[in-house]
Amino acid sequence: MSVVDFCFGRRLASDEQSGQKIGVLSGLPALGLDGLSSSAYGPEAALTIMLPLGAVGLNYILPITGVILALLAMLYVSYRQTIAAYPVNGGSYTVARENLGIWASLFAAAALMIDYVLTVAVGISAGVAALVSAAPQFHKYTVPLCLGILALITLLNLRGTGQAGAAFALPTYLFIASMFVVLGLGVAKSVSSSGHPHPLAAPPAMPAATASVGIWFLFQSFASGCTAMTGVEAVSNGVSAFKEPTVMRAHRTLTLIVVILAMLLGGIAYLSHAYQIGATIQDQSDYQSVLSQLVRAVVGKGWFYYTTMGSVLAVLCLSANTSFVDFPRLCRLIAKDDFLPRIFAAVDRRLVYAVGVLFLATASGLLLAAFRGITDRLIPLYAVGAFLAFTLSQSGMVMHWYKRMRESSKPEPKCSEGSSNGDQGQSKRGRASLHLKLWVNGLGAVATATALSVILAAKFIEGAWITVLAIPTMLTMFQLVHRHYLSVEKQIESADPMDVTHEEPPVVLVPIHCWDRLVAKAVRFGMLLSADIIAVHLSNLEGDAAEDEASQMRQLWAERVEGPTRGAGVLSPTLEMVRTPYREFITPLLQHIDVIKGRYPRRLVVVIVPEIVEKRWWYALLHSRRASRLRSALRARRDVRVIVIDLPWFIKD
Amino acid sequence: MSVVDFCFGRRLASDEQSGQKIGVLSGLPALGLDGLSSSAYGPEAALTIMLPLGAVGLNYILPITGVILALLAMLYVSYRQTIAAYPVNGGSYTVARENLGIWASLFAAAALMIDYVLTVAVGISAGVAALVSAAPQFHKYTVPLCLGILALITLLNLRGTGQAGAAFALPTYLFIASMFVVLGLGVAKSVSSSGHPHPLAAPPAMPAATASVGIWFLFQSFASGCTAMTGVEAVSNGVSAFKEPTVMRAHRTLTLIVVILAMLLGGIAYLSHAYQIGATIQDQSDYQSVLSQLVRAVVGKGWFYYTTMGSVLAVLCLSANTSFVDFPRLCRLIAKDDFLPRIFAAVDRRLVYAVGVLFLATASGLLLAAFRGITDRLIPLYAVGAFLAFTLSQSGMVMHWYKRMRESSKPEPKCSEGSSNGDQGQSKRGRASLHLKLWVNGLGAVATATALSVILAAKFIEGAWITVLAIPTMLTMFQLVHRHYLSVEKQIESADPMDVTHEEPPVVLVPIHCWDRLVAKAVRFGMLLSADIIAVHLSNLEGDAAEDEASQMRQLWAERVEGPTRGAGVLSPTLEMVRTPYREFITPLLQHIDVIKGRYPRRLVVVIVPEIVEKRWWYALLHSRRASRLRSALRARRDVRVIVIDLPWFIKD
């Protein structure tokens, strides 16, 4: 077993692809982690905004969560319809591509790509926030911890989704179970104490109010809290990862995810209010995440606390995996349409799109480093990307149903008389159903667009501008890539049959510095190509020394080459001398190539460079890399009449 | 003027070499800086050892300096003889190579190379020590300062010796002048105050004694102080850098250097004792170099102090230049004997040996970083290397004179009767002179060997072991390089005339994925080489899709290629289909190459890979690098029967 196999698993054949597909129970961790784990940072993000209001702010968390849950419900219905209509990968990109045109789809693609990158960054930073809440001594290592976890996830994903999914199931279910225990217990205690439960471990006291309640705070808080919804689109983007019947399994998975998420969000909001738990500041060393305070308050700081926080850490960090599943698939779709470099479409030996995985890892790593792993600073960027993608996806679905309605209202060609009546009734019912679907997605589009406006207005200065700036940049890049591929295509495409007119053989040029087996091999190979072979001897000597060298070389050439060839009755390769006063190899050779091109203006010039190839790379340091240097120089000149052949000579150990 | 020209100066032709040579006045800075600047750290190194003795230690600095000066005088006489006998570069290496055999010479080469690296490291670290003595606020930037200065010197040297020499003359002469002023004034004050001058700025009080005087301290102090002599060999190693008459100019330069150095060392020792100046510890922030204390004590902390310290900083840092002149020349000599990679012998466009310069810069940079720029930690490594080189050079000279004596005592063939008498007299005087010279160098060898033993014994644990370990490592490397070059030479050398027996034309293989101009060009080029052309179509599709693709491709091939070729009456290139279930390009192609090799067991296989070449490198990211990947894979297989030709297709903007 090779090191590569050990690290990345054995290679998989193309027809093994279906073996990697998932069901509902494995789909929940693989595609739901992102959505569920949003509960760990969404409510906290909303509460962080309330900090200046002091304890008063907690009164508003319940209504804000209510609005968020309503939006979530709308999204659920919308995405159910999307899954049914598009049981393939791509989500927003596919939907927008088919219904709103190429530019809207690229717009959605850019939004989604940014969204995936931020999902990774926020997931990991919030995970580390959970870790340092439970173990404050690690607070100062926030950034290295973030980057280390990112590296680990990347490695897991380079091994392929299947194995990754299996490794992620346990923490997900542990997280759901322990959160349900905590929330259930908390709610029971709260109800039994008429809404004033006694915390087992008291949360830090709320700071005094420094501002008074205003509509702006509520908008801001809602905008931040919306990040609790991020990730619910993951299922619709990854439908094809499911086993048959895909739509049913995807629907069930989505339902499960949304119901659990809603319960978590509702429970957290209710208990923060009941236990008077507010946010703390993540860059301060006494930071305590909201979840950490809540779990401590309900069950105390015992083994259950640590288990729960461990599962929070795990799901948050692994939620990044949702992106690692979908991002490369999305990039592949874009690359197949020639808007991203084609290498993104190349499936590697393990059936994952390694370039996409590595690109995602790099981008989110840079974000984590730039924002020092502080979740709250990433939230504004995140909310914009997510809601932009939501809005585009919903708008695309509206167009989709609209087109379907127009199609179905066209008079259909009647094939059989007998069924026409039933058909008409069915068609009527179908139209009504399409109408309803259009309205559902339309409402979704309006709701997410409204939320997006609120987020943009509330978060522009705090970082949303970065996302707003990134999208046109990415669109420009897509466009440049596409234009270039088109231009290349145009230049190389050919509908003509091959030109079979006679072509004169090339002139062969062999740069030499002495007579040895390499030169012999090169000249002999050249004789296969052409009868006109010119050996070029480069010398940096001056005066008499140069004369001596030249005459020696000429004599050697006469003995070793001209004699035998004349004897065999073939044209002798000629020897030409070239001076290199500046001790260079490339420049004088290029000049001499030009001389020869002038001499034979209609023929190709083939330069054969004999090159020593060592068995071990460190021995290669002992030799000059003339052949590859010459090849680069000739390529830089873009001379279609010159072709370099480097003839390897393999040195034995 | 290009950026390269601006940074490194215009290129120089080979015959411009002599224009770069130096005289005595420019030789003193270029080859004497190292020797002279040793006075800035040698006495301090000796005094540092005395620290545990407190003020008592100062009593011993005069006798120790006396011994050092005696050794210096011996070295002077020895090196004068060496210069006269070997007016070429290489110093110890050349002398040992001709007289003690190849292994002794490589031993000397290794010692010298280490010595050069340490000269750079110690020069720069001591220079920065001078700087932070005058400006203590920079003390915490010791390492970055060291590395910055190193980078600057490297750049200067990549421009060539001539310009570097000119830039270095001013600080050298300023250093000599101001040190003479300080020492002269100090001695005058001391004499006029009967040996107890009053310091203008009091040096820090000597610490209380924590040890009592012992022979061990004296040995240690002598061993460290010996570094004051390092650098006097520079002239003998760089004789060929002088203008004609080289020997005379080199002699004068050496004399000048040694006399000035002796005066500096004597003066410093005398004044340290008179002013009661001891060493301080360089890694402590209140560090004051001995020279700094001394100059302050004599002339106070005014503008003259800063000028002097500035010149000390300059000469110390630039003393590294001595090594930058000689190290690449030495490497070139070794490389010409095939004991170092040949690239060390390659003179670049500015007539300097850039690889040697960069190698030296890297090695000394690593040392500076590893030892945190503290001179005192580098001293033990330095002393060993220097005295090893001294000893070998002297021993070589002894052998040289011995051989000369044996030659001259052989009966000479008598050519003319008349002059035989005079000849005999001359020969007698010559033998006597040779005898004397042998004794001089013999004494030098014994003295330096003795010093070396003392240094090794006194400094082994403190770092001399590193040098002791490095030398066999380098010798092993020399040997490995040499053996490899010999083996390559053996494999490629040929005394046979060229084989002109008829060779069958190769089979040409062109990997394709569709029909376009690239494929057309490749097939047409292949037709120049052979009539047997096989286009290989790789497909990763499965089942029906693969069948469809294959039949389409076959039809296209029939239309575009087979039709026209049949029409022209030439053999048609054939199309073969290969499946790639693992979505790979290289592996299936290699397998198919094997199939074809089996089919034509006596013919070469030429693989022509058409490749898109973009005008701008970033566009190259949009394409796969199949041709170069295939070339690497085939090279790794070391198959002499397969030759890759990548046929570039140049894309226009």
A465, with CB counted inside 10 A (0-12, 13-18, 19+), is middle
B647 with A643: Cβ contact below 8 A: yes
The count of other CB atoms within 10 Å of the CB of residue A514 is 14
DSSP string, A248-284: HHHHHHHHHHHHHHHHHHHHHHHHHHHHT-----TTS
Distance from CA of A473 to the nearest CA of B (A): 16
Chain B contact for A622, CB < 8 A? Answer: yes
CB-based contact B527 A503, cutoff 8 Å: yes
Give the B window 509-528 contacts with A, CB below 8 Å: 515-518, 520, 523-525, 527-528
pLDDT on residue A52: 83
Check if A599 contacts B (Cβ < 8 Å).
no
User: How do residues B156-214 score in pLDDT, each as one tens digit?
Assistant: 888 765 445 566 788 889 999 999 999 999 999 999 988 788 888 888 877 777 777 77
Strand partners, A647: A610
Contacts of A524 in chain B (CB under 8 A): 498-499, 503
Chain B nearest-CA distance from A145, in A, is: 28
Q: Out of A564, A643, A652, name the one closest to residue B497 (CB).
A: A564
The answer to whether the Cβ–Cβ distance between B498 and A619 falls below 8 Å is: no
Q: Which residues of B touch A346 (CB under 8 A)?
A: 583, 624
Average per-residue pLDDT for chain A: 83
**Mutation choice for B interface testing from A622, A626, A639 by most B CBs within 10 A:** A622
CB-CB neighbors (< 8 A) of B643 in chain A? 525, 645, 647-648
Q: Which residues of B touch A11 (CB under 8 A)?
A: 582
- pLDDT at residue B316 in the model: 87
> What count of residues does chain B have?
653
In the sheet where B574-579 sits, what is the strand order?
Answer: B574-579, B533-539, B507-512, B605-613, B642-650
Establish, for the pair of chains A and B, how many residue pairs have beta carbons separated by less than 8 Å. Answer: 181
Across A157-166, A330-339, B49-58, the highest mean pLDDT is recorded for A330-339
The pLDDT score that the predictor gives to residue A7 is 38
Contact B515 A494 (CB under 8 A): yes
Which residues of A fall within a CB distance of 8 Å from B549? Answer: none
Is A624's Cβ below 8 Å from some Cβ in B? yes
C-beta atoms of B651 and A622 within 8 A:
no
Fold identical between A3-12+24-409+427-488 and A507-650? no
Q: Which of A515, A523, A652 sits opposite B491 (nearest CB)?
A: A652
Task: Please choose, from the candidates B128, B118, B32, B41, the residue with its C-alpha nearest in 3D space to the C-alpha of residue B376.
Answer: B41
Touching check for B349 and chain A: CB below 8 Å?
A: yes
> Bridge partners of A609?
A646
pLDDT for A262 = 94
Using the CB atoms, write b or e for A524-550: b if 16+ within 10 Å. bbbbbbbebbbbbbbbbeeeeeeeebb
What does the block give as tokens for A580? Answer: 């290199």
Looking up tokens 């659920």 gives: A76
Looking at chain B from residue 288 to 347, which residues have their Cβ under 8 Å from any Cβ of chain A? 341-343, 346-347
pLDDT digits over B433-459, tens only? 888 888 888 888 888 898 888 888 888
The string of DSSP letters for B43-69 reads HHHHHHHHGGGGGGGGGGHHHHHHHHH
**CA–CA separation, A228 vs A587, rounded Å?**
64
Reported as a pLDDT band with limits 50, 70 and 90, residue A507 is very high
| Residue-wise pLDDT tens digits, A565-618 | 888 888 889 999 888 776 677 888 899 999 999 999 989 999 998 888 888 877
pLDDT per residue as tens digits for the range A618-653 = 787 788 777 778 888 888 888 888 988 888 888 887
Q: What topology does CATH give the domain B3-13+28-408+429-487?
A: Amino acid/polyamine transporter I (1.20.1740)
Instruction: Enumerate residues 154 to 213 of chain A having a beta carbon within 8 A of any beta carbon in chain B.
Output: none
Instruction: Identify whether the C-beta of residue B435 lies closer than 8 Å to the C-beta of residue B405.
Output: yes
Highest average pLDDT, of A130-134, A228-232, A623-627, B616-620, comes from: A130-134
Note the helical H segments in A276-353: 290-299, 303-336
Query: What is the reported pLDDT for A92?
Result: 66
Specify the 3-state DSSP secondary structure of B352: coil
**Weakly modelled stretches of chain B, pLDDT under 70:** 1-20, 88-92, 95, 160-167, 347-352, 410-427, 541-542, 582-583
**Fold of the domain spanning A3-12+24-409+427-488:** Amino acid/polyamine transporter I (1.20.1740)
Residue of A498, A515, A579 to mutate for B, most B C-beta atoms under 10 A: A498
Does the distance separating the beta carbons of A491 and B613 come in below 8 Å? no
| DSSP structure class, residue B645 | E
Q: State the residue for tokens 């997931």.
A: A123
Percent of chain A with pLDDT over 90: 25
Q: Tell me what pLDDT residue B98 has.
A: 75
Which positions in chain B touch A14 (Cβ < 8 Å)?
540, 542, 581-583
Least CB–CB distance from A515: residue in B494, B561, B604:
B494
Please check whether residue A596 is in contact with residue A534, taking contact to mean a CB–CB distance below 8 angstroms.
Answer: yes
Superfamily (CATH H level) for B507-650: HUPs (3.40.50.620)
Report domain extents, chain B: 3-13+28-408+429-487, 507-650
Residue A462: CB partners within 8 Å, gap ≥ 6? A377, A380
Q: List C-alpha distances in Å: B102 to B109, B197, B248, B390, B480.
A: 10, 55, 29, 17, 14
Looking at residue B425, its pLDDT comes to 61
Q: What is the pLDDT of residue B12?
A: 47
Reduced 3-state DSSP string for B118-163:
HHHHHHHHHHHHHHHHHCHHHHHHHHHHHHHHHHHHHHHHHCCHHH
| Three-class SS state of B540 | coil
Both tokens of B554, joined, read: 């076959």
Considering only the beta carbons, identify the residue of A497, A560, A645 that sits closest to B564: A497
Touching B: A residues 559-598, CB under 8 Å: 559-561, 563-565, 567-568, 570, 581-584
